[in-house]
Amino acid sequence: EVGEMRIGCPGFRPCLVVLQVKLNRCDSNLYISMKLKAAAEIGICANHIRLPKTATEEEVLRGILAVNEDSAVHGLIVQLPLDSIHRINIQRVTQCIAPEKDVDGLNSVNAGKLARGDLTGCFIPCTPSGCMELIAQTGVNIAGKNAVVIGRSKIVGAPMHDLLLWNHATVTTCHTMTPDLPAQVIKADILVACAGKAELVKGEWLKKGAVVIDCGINHIPDRSRPSGARVVGDVDFPSALTRAAFITPVPGGVGPMTVAMLMENTVKSAKKFLKAFQPGKWPIVYTKINRQHPQPSDGEISQSCAVKPISSLSSEVGLLSSEVEAYGKSRGKVQLDVLKRTEALPNGKYVVVTGITPTLMGEGKTTTALGLAQALGAHLNMNAFACLRQPTHCNTVNVTGKDILFLTGDSEAVSRASAVVVASLSPRMQLEAKQICKVTVWPLVFHKGGPRASSPLHLNRLKVSHSAATDRLNLLVASEIMAVLSLSSSLEDLQQRLSKIIVAQPQSREPVTVKDLGVAGMLNMILKDAIKPCLMQTVEGTPVFLHTNPLCDIAHGNSSILSDKIALKLVGPDGFVVTEAGWGADIGLEKFFNIKCRSSGLQPDVVVMVVTVRGLKMHGRVPSVSIFTNLQLLEVGCSHLRKQIENSRAYGLPVVLAVNTFSSDTGAELDMVCQQARLAGALDAVCCTHWSDGGAGAVALGMAVQSAAETPHSFNFLYSLEIPVQEKITVIAQKMYGAKDVVLSTKAMEKVTLFTGQGLGNLPVCIAKTPLSLSQDPEVMGIPRDFILSVEDILANAGAGFLCPLVHSVSLIGEEIPPTGDCILTSC
């Protein structure tokens, strides 16, 4: 059978693990050596795990869990007894063994099935199974016979009773409290002795012609032996030999048959694994959804769905139990150690979902990303993961299965970290505010004799000014910390990036950083759990990482690098990871490629462009064009679609259009959009109904993405980091937004000079502008022409690793606050 399995799956070998707490018991060591030798003879890979006698119960359980989660192991036996110097609960140990690998049949799942007569659906303990095989070899029909079992241990006696019973024998189990044992034994047509007492059963007790199976292993003194002892069974063999028709010797009877049954169970387990095994495929179970008419509310859909326990989901996608920290029943944090374990594995296919410039009602990028992941996984049988940003606000529930209520406290951790930074800087700000007040404000306070006294109105203005400056600093620091969290690739990288965050910029000195404040280590401690991606699932059971939520204007607006990296390893080379870029292709996708991909080193394979007919109609409302019909409106709006497809193709990747359809869309409108997309260079254009139909509504999109991922492509960035800062801004503005030119204010030019002198000139840029238009005017739809992009200021996000030019239309919290002393906050 082992040879047949190798023919069907070259290189495959059944694997057995024997776990033993190291001890000097000759019988245990003898049995283990017999098992290892037998396994090697028939081609089973056998590993012997020896734990020291100082091993604790928890160490034994951890060893069992590691074997449970090793897909290359098909059988596990724990060699009993566990003679540790510590007290170990044997019941807890046997319960820890995965039932599908419990080839010794000791787990309560297997024992329960045996007790209920489910002999084909469980692993039968090896010694009772061997006894049944020996009885079968005698030719004696068990049905209708009187059988007596001496002993009721969970390993031999109790399962032996069940086996004989379900083979239609009349069974009596005897034990220490059984009166007149000989009277019971004399009735037995079949006797199984497993009491563990040397030569307990005498020959005269036996019924003439009985079948005697002796499972006992006992040592009695024998001076004639070099060891001073010899092995005997529970039956007095010489006297029993004259009355029994068949009797097993000790040693050499039941022992070898037990080993043979162990090998049989291991092969059986390996065959069951191989039957369900698909190379590179997760053993994941998806949830089928039933469409309802009319469409239920998002909350009703979320509440009606059965959610898999996070332990089941994590196991299905290849995560070990030690790598997942459960947060309730349906979500959990994934340890970063998984990246080390999977380091040598190849990455899967990387898909980024973007869209046209969003309208006020949105285009559906998030629902498309989740629908695509569900289609690839539940409907196209591919390993598929979705990686999304956490929602900015506390609670979001929708049909795609995203149900978040504060998640795991990541945003709160970022807020705490920001508060620590601001609190560390505030004493200096207050001191300098007092000094500047004495020099410039206090002499202006009017007084008529007596002491000077500020008016309540004047004092209130000073308080408001300081409060606004603090609020602005808090916003910017929190934004950069979240961006740092999103762009970090390890805890070490996180601390290095946090240390570089600039919190103040003196006019005449080097910038003040978090490292200078001495709080980088504290921030790292606050964020040590927040850096771990949060694992959840859609309503169809597709795995999703929700991690970090950097802003889309003064930050890059993408989910974390770590969630993408872990997911790409878990899905395998043929799987897909679907992530989302915030806002439209001109902003979110540009930042995804030029900031996130530069930091991660990952190269996407496919861009999915999401569009709606109603969104394109809104972009078709251009004042200079007279519109008479919906199709004409749509035709004008398609010019915006062509521009965004051009933006997406600028990076050398295939683009697939996903039309997020509504019941109000007509066939002619959908055909026009798909046709215009193909003319603009999209590899394919597909209409999707995932909002109402779940993954089934995005199957065509999934197939198009699969095909696109196989097309040859060469990824490239939009600009080189070596070019000057102003030129980077110009490249983005002209190629992505369609601007005629870029104008930097005097203040912005000063910042360019300052940051270049500080060695920050080779960072990518993250332009903060309105997401509602390609231009800087949110009221201008479609494709703006001949506009000038005005950059008012530039922020240095040295920790996150980018410069942030602020376009004229972007404003931060509060009004412009004059610098205190010689210190200019990064928000100024």
- Please, is 80 exposed, middle or buried when counting C-beta atoms within 10 Å of its C-beta (0-12, 13-18, 19+)? middle
Residue 89 CA to chain centroid, in angstroms? 33
Strand partners, 789: 742
Edge-first strand listing for the sheet containing 684-688? 324-326, 332-334, 534-537, 543-546, 384-388, 576-580, 349-355, 606-611, 655-660, 684-688
Contact predicate 404/396, CB 8 Å: yes
Looking at residue 571, its amino acid is: V
For residue 814, give Cα distances in angstroms to 255, 465, 471, 617, 805.
Answer: 83, 9, 8, 36, 18
Nearest-5° angle of CA 298, CA 299, CA 300? 90
Contact predicate 189/211, CB 8 Å: yes
Dig out the tokens for 409 from the structure: 């406290």
For residue 98, give Cα distances in angstroms to 39, 78, 129.
Answer: 21, 12, 20
533 preceded by cis ω (within 30°)?
no
Dig out the tokens for 599 from the structure: 């930091």
Dig out the tokens for 307 from the structure: 């959610």
Rg (C-alpha) for the chain, rounded Å, is: 36
Dig out the tokens for 480 from the structure: 């950069």
- Catalytic-role residue among 22, 35, 202, 308: 35
Q: How far apart are CA 327 and CA 536, in angstroms?
A: 10
If we measure between CA atoms, which residue out of 352, 345, 288 comes closest to residue 318? 345
What phi and psi values does residue 729 have, to the nearest 5 degrees? Answer: -60, -40
Q: How far apart are CA 427 and CA 4, in angstroms?
A: 76
Q: How far apart are CA 164 and CA 124, in angstroms?
A: 12
CA dihedral 503, 507, 511, 513 (to 10 degrees): -30
Dig out the tokens for 821 from the structure: 């002393």
What phi and psi values does residue 569 have, to the nearest 5 degrees? Answer: -75, -40
**Secondary element (H or E) of residue 823:** strand 823-825
Number of other CB atoms surrounding residue 143 within 10 Å: 8
Q: How far apart are CA 402 and CA 386, in angstroms?
A: 11
Dig out the tokens for 275 from the structure: 């039957």
Tell me the three state secondary structure of residue 425.
Answer: helix
- Please, is 719 exposed, middle or buried when counting C-beta atoms within 10 Å of its C-beta (0-12, 13-18, 19+)? middle
Q: How far apart are CA 550 and CA 484, in angstroms?
A: 9
Contact predicate 574/348, CB 8 Å: yes
Q: Which residue do the tokens 């190269």 mark?
A: 603
Tell me the three state secondary structure of residue 591.
Answer: helix
Dig out the tokens for 175 from the structure: 């034990």
For residue 696, give Cα distances in angstroms to 210, 257, 379, 803.
Answer: 65, 53, 7, 42
Edge-first strand listing for the sheet containing 512-513? 512-513, 502-506, 823-825
35 is annotated as an active-site residue: yes
**Secondary element (H or E) of residue 795:** strand 788-797
> In 22-54, which positions are buried (b, 16+ CB within 10 angstroms) versus exposed (e)?
ebeeeebeebbeebbebbeeeebbbbebebeee
The dihedral region occupied by 541, where left means phi > 0, alpha psi between -120 and 50, and beta the remainder, is left
Question: Which residues have a catalytic role annotated?
Answer: 35
